[in-house]
């Protein structure tokens, strides 16, 4: 339990908030369009998501598009 919690906190801490500078397709989690001006989270692998990634990390420990990393 401690390891899972540590990994979850570590992954969340590694994501950074940013504002999207141009449209970027669809968020793989909430399936909404990533549009210019949206607040996004950018992971260390450079994948971008809406802030719904925070909920993803509550039950998962890796990037939705790079689960083996």
Q: Is the pLDDT of residue 26 over 50?
A: yes
Q: Is the dihedral of CA 40, 45, 47, 53 positive or negative?
A: negative
Domain ranges of the chain: 18-59
Which residue would you say has higher pLDDT here, 58 or 15? 58
Any idea which fold 18-59 has? Herpes Virus-1 (3.30.40)
Q: What totals of helices (H) and strands (E) does the chain contain, helices first?
A: 2, 3
pLDDT digits (tens, 9 = 90+) for 6-20: 344 444 444 456 888
Is pLDDT above 60 for 2?
Answer: no
pTM: 0.66
- Section 15-31 average pLDDT: 84
Q: With bands split at pLDDT 50, 70 and 90, how would you rate the model's confidence at 37?
A: very high
């Amino acid at each position: 339990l401690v390891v899972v919690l540590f990994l979850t906190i570590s992954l969340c801490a590694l994501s950074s908030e940013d504002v999207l500078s141009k449209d970027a397709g669809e968020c793989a989690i909430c399936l909404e369009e990533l549009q210019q001006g949206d607040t996004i989270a950018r992971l260390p692998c450079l994948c971008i998501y809406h802030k719904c990634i925070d909920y993803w990390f509550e039950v998962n420990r890796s990037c939705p598009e790079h689960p083996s990393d």
